Amino acid sequence: MIQENILKVSNKLYKRVVFMKWSDEAKKELSKVPFFVRKKVKIKVEDLAKELNSEKVLPFHLAEAKNRFLNNMEKEIKGFSLEACFGEKNCKNAIKASPDFLNKIESLLLKKDILSFLKKNSKDKIKFHQEFRVSVSFCPNSCSRPQISDIGLIAASRPVVTDEPCIKCMSCVKGCVERAVFFKNGSLVIDYEKCLFCNECIKRCPAKTIIEEKKGFRILAGGKLGRHPRLGKDLGEIYTENEVLKIIDSAVDFMLSQKKGAKRFSDIFNDEIFESLKNRV
Ligand code: SF4
Ligand code: SF4
Ligand code: SF4
């Protein structure tokens, strides 16, 4: 039985998780597909297998999907890609964002009309790896790989110690994988150098001794794979959703302002752009 779970991101874009079995041969074939299209290909192949009433993906489905999809790759390109982990609706680790947050990002990216810019400035056919990539993870586990996107977002919830009496249940200490919360000389301490703002200690504290001080997203900018890979650089703050939108807006503008050629944002990203994004809000 195929289990399907579709998380609607907007009328045009769907983050989708389809649970299907794959034969070993089909898995092997899929592993040969370039990483930057593998996820899209996987979804297309599973769609096709489902359409053909198969409960298992076989090499035949990959070959057929290749005909239908890879040969028409250019038609699938939107100029940007917005991916999110499935966490917000289905994962206990998720730090919730506003219900329309992903829609707002998508609307912003559509308005920028990145595709026209790419078409105008590229000599060859546009390829997926030229798209502006935004990747969102709703906790520091980072399942959507925000570290290797032009803009990577990681949901964050900053804890703070209040004056409410602590009952010394130790639940926060036991729950912190980073060992960032502990007692020192009888006082509760949060080490913000180690803290990844995962929300666990806040959720666990029954006495409101630890509460949420700020919620939003950490932003990583300029991440990429390819010949010269680089992890996105952390802008260093927790940003509200509106601030995130402003920073994405600026990042796209940097990309669109290129006078010649159409390099990806992560290829033009440098210290000057980093500082400029940091000062955007
Ligand atoms: S990144 Fe976190 S919230 Fe998202 S799916 Fe992974 S564990 Fe769940
Ligand atoms: S927010 Fe997460 S990482 Fe930070 S102290 Fe609490 S449990 Fe530890
Ligand atoms: S979870 Fe709250 S009450 Fe329990 S030890 Fe931590 S701060 Fe104290």
Please write the tens of the pLDDT for every residue from 42-93.
888 898 888 888 889 999 888 888 777 666 766 778 899 999 998 877 799 9
Domain shared by 142 and 266, yes or no: yes
Q: Are residues 208 and 229 in the same domain?
A: no
Instruction: Give the number of whichever ligand sits closest to the CA of residue 159.
Output: 2
Query: Which class for 174: exposed (0-12), middle (13-18), buried (19 or more C-beta within 10 A)?
Result: exposed
Lookup: tokens for 212: 């949420």
Contact partners, residue 105, CB within 8 Å, separation at least 6? 82, 134, 136, 244, 245, 248
Q: Which structure tokens are listed for 191?
A: 């080490």
Return all residues near 206 (Cβ < 8 A) that are at least 6 apart. 167, 169, 171
71 shares its domain with 108: no
Q: Tell me: do 31 and 88 sit in the same domain.
A: no
pLDDT (0 to 100) of residue 70:
63
Nearest atom (ligand 1) to Cα of 137:
1
Q: Which of 95, 176, 184 to mutate to test the pocket of ligand 2 (most atoms within 8 A of CB)?
A: 176
List, for the chain, all residue ranges whose pLDDT scores fall below the cut of 70: 1-19, 36, 69-71, 73-74
| Number of domains making up the chain | 3
Instruction: List the residue whose alpha carbon is closest to atom 4 of ligand 3.
Output: 169
Structural domain ending residue among the three candidates 213, 235, 250: 213
Residues 4 and 58 in one domain: yes
**What is d(CA 186, CA 183) in angstroms, rounded to the nearest whole number?**
6
- In sequence order, the β-bridge partners of residue 4 are 18
Query: Ligand 2: distance of its center to the CA of 119 in Å?
Result: 45
* Domain edge (last residue) among 39, 59, 76: 76
Q: List Cβ<8 Å contacts ≥24 apart for 249-252.
A: 249/108, 249/112, 250/276, 250/277, 250/280, 251/132, 251/150, 251/151, 251/221, 251/277, 252/108, 252/109, 252/112, 252/114, 252/132
The structure's pTM equals 0.81
The CA-atom distances, in angstroms, between 109 and each of 20, 33, 82, 106, 260 are 31, 27, 9, 5, 21
- pLDDT score, position 34: 74
Kindly report the CATH number assigned to the domain that includes residue 54: 1.10.8.550
Question: Is 8 a pocket residue for ligand 3 (Cβ < 6 Å)?
Answer: no
Per the structure block, which two tokens stand in for 70?
């890879």
Ligand approaching nearest to the C-alpha of 197: 2
211 lines ligand 3 (CB under 6 A): no
CATH number at residue 262: 3.30.413.10
Ligand 1 close to Cβ of residue 134 (< 6 A): no
Q: Could you tell me if the CB of 135 is within 6 A of ligand 1?
A: no
Q: Is 129 helix (H, G, I), strand (E, B) or coil?
A: helix
Distance (angstroms) between ligand 3 centre and the Cα of 188 equals 8
Q: Which ligand is nearest to the CA of 196?
A: 2
Q: Which of 215, 221, 197 is nearest to 139 (CA)?
A: 197
> 14-19 and 3-8 as β-strands: parallel, antiparallel, unpaired?
antiparallel
Task: Give me ligand 3 centre to Cα 209, in Å.
Answer: 6
Residues 233 and 274: beta-carbon distance below 8 Å:
yes
Of 115, 86, 77, 70, nearest to 14 by C-alpha is 86
- Strands 21-22, 14-19: pairing is unpaired
Same domain for 165 and 129?
Answer: no
Integer CA distances (angstroms), 246 to 58, 98, 240, in order:
44, 16, 10
What the block records as the tokens of 26 is 């089909």
- Ligand 2: list residues with CB < 6 Å: 159, 175-176, 178, 180-181, 190, 195-201
Q: Do residue 206 and residue 139 come from a single domain?
A: no
Q: Check whether residue 220 and residue 99 sit in a common domain.
A: yes
Domain of 184, CATH number, reads 3.30.70.20
Number of neighbouring beta carbons within 10 Å of residue 220? 23
Q: Whose CA is nearest to atom 8 of ligand 3?
A: 166
- For ligand 2, the distance from its centroid to the CA atom of residue 196, given in whole angstroms, is 6
Adjacent-strand bridge partners of 82: 134
Q: Are residues 151 and 222 in the same domain?
A: yes
Shared domain for 122 and 258, answered yes or no, is: yes
Based on the fold, state whether residues 18 and 144 are members of the same structural domain.
no
Domain end call among 23, 55, 76: 76
Considering every ligand atom shown, identify the ligand nearest to the alpha carbon of residue 156 and give its number. Answer: 2
* Cβ atoms of 137 and 85 closer than 8 Å: yes
* 161 strand-pairing partners: 210
If one residue of 138, 145, 200 were mutated to test the ligand 1 pocket, choosing by the most ligand atoms within 8 A of its CB, it would be 138
Same domain, 192 and 64: no
Domain encompassing residue 16: 1-76
Residue 154: strand, helix, or coil: strand
Nearest CA to ligand 1 atom 5: 87
For 136-161, write each residue's pLDDT tens digit: 999 999 999 999 999 999 999 999 99
Q: Tell whether ligand 3 has an atom less than 6 A from the beta carbon of residue 207.
A: yes
